[in-house]
């Protein structure tokens, strides 16, 4: 009789294949070389992918994660024709999608592969490009929320409000903890108000659910995320305080 874990894993892999069918290689680097140089041997890449998914199905998470990352290291952003997908996809993109579909019992094994590499990459990272590359190269790592926060803060320092808001969306949707999510949501509300993005504020409010009542420290006092959202909506109407204090980062607090 098939185990619940194995059954869930098979369903996960089937859903992955279906989700990837419309995938198109649009990322920077996902292009055919003009002279054909560097195009990988499709069969070798596909064999590595099939081996990784086979190990996952067998519950051999450490071996499967190692094989999956081996494929990424060898083929990176180059396009490969995977039979399971039916089109050319970058090996990195395919692995990232699979990494985000790994069930909880296999996630620790994947993170044992990527977490040490994240630490090494962070040691020399300083720019938005560096942090985006870490998020791209090491998906679903333990430190992903931390990297997203660093990306948002770096973009804020550069005055890129839209880029910061985009990074904060990622942090709200992939939180490391409730405290981090509350602070990110509050700062995102501030940015959306400054960007006059009413639709964005509506979407944020809908996504937060009960977390809208979480508390943050903002402008020297305790407030809920709902309070900050209200202040951001006032800014939309032109009746809010647009002093530099709007740029202050909220922090979690009770």
Question: Residues of 68-93 as b/e, b for ≥16 C-beta within 10 angstroms?
Answer: bbebbeebebbbbebebbeebbbbbb
For residues 231-251, give the mean pLDDT. 61
Predicted local distance difference test score (pLDDT) of residue 85: 64
Closest CA to 79 of 96, 92, 98, 97: 92
In which element (H, E) is residue 223 found? Answer: strand 221-224
For residues 180-189, give the mean pLDDT. 88
Predicted local distance difference test score (pLDDT) of residue 108: 92
For 60-100, the pLDDT digits (tens) are 999 999 999 999 888 888 888 777 666 788 888 888 888 88
pLDDT score of 152 more than 70: yes
For residues 178-188, give the mean pLDDT. 86
């Amino acid at each position: 009789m098939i185990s619940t874990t194995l059954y869930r894993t098979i369903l996960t892999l089937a859903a992955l294949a279906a989700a990837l069918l419309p995938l198109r290689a649009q990322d920077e680097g996902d292009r055919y070389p003009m002279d054909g140089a560097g195009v990988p041997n499709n069969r070798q890449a596909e064999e590595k992918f099939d081996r990784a998914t086979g190990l996952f199905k067998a519950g051999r998470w450490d071996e499967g994660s190692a094989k999956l990352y081996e494929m990424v290291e060898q083929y990176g952003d180059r396009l490969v024709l995977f039979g399971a997908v039916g089109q050319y996809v970058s090996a990195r993109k395919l692995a990232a999608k699979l990494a985000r579909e790994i069930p909880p019992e296999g996630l620790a094994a994947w993170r044992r592969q990527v977490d040490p590499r994240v630490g090494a990459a962070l040691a020399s990272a300083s720019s938005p490009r560096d942090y985006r590359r870490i998020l791209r190269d090491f998906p679903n790592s333990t430190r992903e929320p931390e990297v997203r926060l660093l990306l948002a803060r770096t973009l804020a320092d550069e005055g890129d409000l839209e880029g910061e808001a985009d990074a904060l969306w990622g942090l709200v949707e992939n939180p490391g903890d409730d405290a981090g999510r509350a602070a990110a949501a509050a700062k995102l509300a501030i940015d959306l108000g400054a960007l006059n993005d009413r639709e964005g504020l509506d979407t944020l409010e809908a996504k937060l659910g009960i977390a809208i009542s979480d508390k943050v420290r903002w402008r020297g006092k305790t407030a809920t995320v709902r309070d900050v959202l209200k202040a951001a909506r006032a800014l939309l109407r032109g009746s809010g305080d647009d002093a530099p204090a709007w740029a202050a980062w909220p922090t979690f607090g009770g």
